[in-house]
Every structure is written in C-alpha cells, then in structure tokens.
Amino acid sequence: MQFKPNQVAFGRHESFALRFGWLTKGFQEFEHNKGIFSADDAVVRLGVGKNMVNSIRHWLRAAQLIVIGPDKKETTPLGEFLFSEKAGKDPYLEDEATIWLLHWLLATNPEHATSWYWFFNLFHKPEFTSQEVANALVDFAKENIKAKFSVLSVKNDCAVLLRTYVQSKSNMKTPVEEALDSPLSLLRLITYSPATKSYQSRLERRDSLPLGVLGFAIADLFQKRSISEIPIEDLMYGGNGNIAPGILFRLTENALLAKVEQLINYLPGIFKLDETAGIHQLYRLQEVEPIRYLEKHYNALQQHDKAA
C-alpha cells in the first residue's frame, strides 16, 4: 500500500484495459494450474491471444487476486473469497460492490498498478485532457521513481487507465456486460465530455458505493498502517503519500462523513467517531479483519436473493 520509488510497473497490461470475464477465467484457471500463464495451451485454455494472456496475468496481480514471484505462485485469500470456482461470492461480477472493491485493490497497489495509485491518490485535477494527465504522470515519474522506465510506457499507461474507467462512445448504447469496456467504467469515476474534449474526475456523493466495501477499505487502511485513530481529514485526503479512501473513491467531504457515520452502525463496536478540539477523528475500538465487512455485504445479498 506504501509507494516505493524502486518498485513500480508500467505497461504490463500489454495495452489492454481490463475486460469482463478476464478475472473469473484467469483466476479459476490459475486455481487449477499455477503455471497456466506460461503453459503451451494458455491461449486455448483462456480463449484469448498471447498478449491477452499476459494482460490477464497482469490484471490478476494488479488487483491483488494472485501472487506470482520467483518462489511463489498462489491465490490470495481475497481472490478466493471473490472468484473461487467452488465458493467465490461473486465470480461473474454480478454485484457492483465487487467492482468498487477491485478499484480499491488496484489503486492501493503502487507496485503493480503504479499509474492507478498515482491518479486516484495524488492527481487531484477535476477536469483535464489526456495530454495534461499524461504529462503530469511523466513529471511524477521523473521526480519520484528511481527504477528505469520508458516515457512512452508511462504515457501508454495513462491511455489505458482512461480506457479502463471511461465507457467508449461506440458502446454508449450497448449494455456494458456485452461490450468490450472495462467493468470499472460502470463506476463513472472518470467521464469524458465530447463538447470540451476533456475528462472529468470529480468528488461526488457516490451513492452506489456500498458500506461493506468502504468498511473493508477503512479497516484495511487501519490494519496496514497499524494505527488506532485517524483524523477524518486524513481519511479524506491522505497526505505524506498515504492512501485516503475519500479521494480514492472520489467522495465529497460530506459524503465521506455521512458514510462513516453509517458505517459505525454497520458493524457495531468496531469504530467510533468523535470530535476533539474541533477535529473529527475516527477511532478503532477493536481490531477487525477487513474481510468481515465484505462477508456482511455478500451474506446479506445472498439472503436477499433467497428471500426473493
């Protein structure tokens, strides 16, 4: 979750934005065969071209669903929770909560999704052109990254990031599930205006962001930073390179505060909101595994489906 100047990645997606079905197919094939992405029959098993095989591998790593290293190839507990063939809660991305969760996982992975981390945590312009955001990312890379990188790869990363979150014009009348657009375009965290030929990424209420996902994000933040309290302002804007759910989910200050207040009753006894010397602070009353918030969300969804 912490940015490290010598652990970054650009261009690993082979210029392909994430597509519907890729995570499900890739994860479940990886469950059966940890060497699937280098296997001779990978293109057949995954039903895509060779470059897309590498892209699927990248997106699974970037979304923190699998781990692939020199001496380790394994699924993550969260990957199993979501996409396991036998017990996955939402393997076919039928619940928008899963897409919000994937967004969090990408934007908090500076090692494998550097551009995503930078854009959603450090780039705050509400309106911009593709050239402006690309130049800003190149400037960030030149100033902060110690590892070697290609300016062309950085700019290409920006183009793929925009395609990942913006529904293509040709698919505006096509159900997103049937189009080639990324599932992340459903979140409308980045939009495009043909009239001004510019992109927008503004702070909004984000009513579709489920409490279970926000709860997971905040509990994840507390756990990884080993803290027991945090000012709401830091939860909103971060600072000093820290992840901030408010800005990452593009929430307004009022929306974040309202959702945090609701979150306190979502799983009682975990968090407490208090004001000290005029500063709103969120306190963690007891340690909690972040996945408990997801379990509550998906279990409630399953019970609702059964009742229907």
Q: What residues pair up with 271 in beta bridges, in sequence order?
A: 284
pLDDT of residue 171: 47
Q: Answer yes or no: are the C-beta atoms of 178 and 65 closer than 8 Å.
A: no
Q: Which residues contact 9 (CB under 8 A, 6 or more apart)?
A: 62, 111, 112, 113, 114
Query: How many other C-beta atoms are found inside a 10 Å radius of the C-beta of residue 117?
Result: 24
Low-confidence ranges of the chain (pLDDT < 50): 171-179
Specify the CATH class of 21-92 in words.
mainly alpha
Query: What's the rounded Cα separation, in Å, for the pair 178 and 167?
Result: 12
pTM as predicted: 0.94
pLDDT of residue 234: 95
Query: What's the rounded Cα separation, in Å, for the pair 41 and 199?
Result: 40
Query: What's the rounded Cα separation, in Å, for the pair 183 and 154?
Result: 23
3-state secondary structure of 100: helix
Q: What is the CATH number of domain 211-307?
A: 1.10.10.10
pLDDT tens track for 254-300 = 999 999 999 999 999 999 999 877 889 999 999 999 999 999 999 99
pLDDT of residue 2: 80
Terminal alpha carbon distance of the chain: 39
Which two three-digit tokens encode residue 190? 């980045």
Nearest in space to 210 (alpha carbons), one of 290, 297, 288, 269? 297
The answer to whether 21-92 and 211-307 have equal CATH topology is yes
pLDDT of residue 287: 95
pLDDT of residue 307: 58
Q: Answer yes or no: are the C-beta atoms of 213 and 52 closer than 8 Å.
A: no
Residue ranges covered by each domain of the chain: 21-92, 95-202, 211-307
